[in-house]
Amino acid sequence: MSDTRRETVRFRGGGFVTGSRRWAPWLAFALILAAWEAASLTGLLPALFMPAPHEVVLALHALLVDGQLFVHIGASLQRIVIGWLLGSAAGLAIGFAMGIFVLARSVGLPVVAALFPIPKIALLPLFILWFGIGEPSKVATIALGVFFPTVVSTYSAVDNVPRNLIRMAQSFGLPTRMIVTKVILPGAMPGILAGCRISSSIALILVVAAEMIGAQFGIGAFVLAAGNLMQTDQLVAGVVLLSLLGLTISWLLSRLEKTLLRWR
């Protein structure tokens, strides 16, 4: 080796790392808004089809001042919360039963597989026939839309709790009730909360769709009315509200995950 060529070993392990830059999303948002504003000011984006960001802000301000913002958000939130709670509670119960009991799984899996793919908004006319044009039909649509993904995620989460933990609990003689509450429920919690994220997004989509079909108040009804009157600044303001509502729900779920899944 003494007279042969020496070369320092080159580092080849760079890149492909996980992690994030906290400033990057803010910069991206700012750039998108700046480009949008510039396109509107220069006439590249006609105001009739796409309002400038500052016009959307003004529309939001006007909604805030005259109180309409709270009326529409309040109506949508009420439907989302009631529908989501009903659908989630039923979905959790059925999903847990399917994860634990062989008979419930044998019956539940084919039924869920058959009904899950149906677009739930297609059932709204049926619900209007059953429950009338008022709140119950919209809440039922949201609840049903939330129910199936909750069943699937809960069943899957329970099914994925490591069997060795359940065997361990059995070997120490824990009664079934305690195995469920102390082993299966906490073990399934990550999957259940992941399911909550999906079901909350579905609830948001369904509330807008349901409000577009038959409602006086609510963000969906507001966006539809603005579109009919070609008030694009109001329309986009409604869309921004939906985005903010989705972000708020996502933030709340993140807080819940941080509290319940501290051990991860």
Partner 1 sequence: MQVLLEEVGFAFADLQVLDGISFTVTEGETAALIGPSGCGKSTLLNLVGGLLPQQQGRIATVGDAPPGCLNPLTFVFQDFALLPWRSVAGNVALALEHHPLGRAEREARIREVLQLCGLSDFADALPKQLSGGMRQRVGIARAIAVRPAVLLMDEPLSALDAQTRELLMEDLVAIWARERTTTLYVTHNLSEAVRLADKVVVLSRRPGRIKQIVAIDVPVAERHRPEHAATLQRLHDELWTLIKAEAKVADREVQNV
Q: Write out the residues near partner 1 by the rule CB under 8 A.
A: 164-165, 167-175, 178, 182-183, 186-187, 261, 263-264
Based on CB atoms, which residue is closest to partner 1, 31 or 178?
178
Which candidate, 104, 188, 110, places its Cα nearest to that of 150?
188
Paired tokens of 21: 């830059």
Q: What is the DSSP string of 111-172?
A: HHHHHTTS-GGGGHHHHHHHH-SSHHHHHHHHHHHHHHHHHHHHHHHHHTS-HHHHHHHHHT
CB of 100 to partner 1, least distance (A): 18
Based on CB atoms, which residue is closest to partner 1, 171 or 228?
171
CB of 56 to partner 1, least distance (A): 44
CB of 170 to partner 1, least distance (A): 7
For the chain, what is the radius of gyration of the CA atoms?
25
Based on CB atoms, which residue is closest to partner 1, 43 or 173?
173
CB of 262 to partner 1, least distance (A): 8
Which candidate, 112, 118, 86, places its Cα nearest to that of 99?
112
Sort 1 into a burial class: Cβ within 10 Å, 0-12 / 13-18 / 19+: exposed
Based on CB atoms, which residue is closest to partner 1, 190 or 214?
190
CB of 173 to partner 1, least distance (A): 5
Based on CB atoms, which residue is closest to partner 1, 119 or 175?
175
The CA-atom distances, in angstroms, between 55 and each of 43, 121, 220, 234, 247 are: 14, 32, 20, 9, 22
Cβ contacts of 164 within 8 Å, gap of 6 or more: none
| CA distance linking residue 208 with residue 105, whole number of Å | 33
CB of 225 to partner 1, least distance (A): 48
Based on CB atoms, which residue is closest to partner 1, 82 or 166?
166
CB of 149 to partner 1, least distance (A): 24
Question: Residue written as tokens 């003004």?
Answer: 58
Based on CB atoms, which residue is closest to partner 1, 61 or 182?
182
Contact by Cβ (8 Å): 78, 134: no
The CA-atom distances, in angstroms, between 106 and each of 89, 99, 132, 146 are: 21, 10, 35, 22
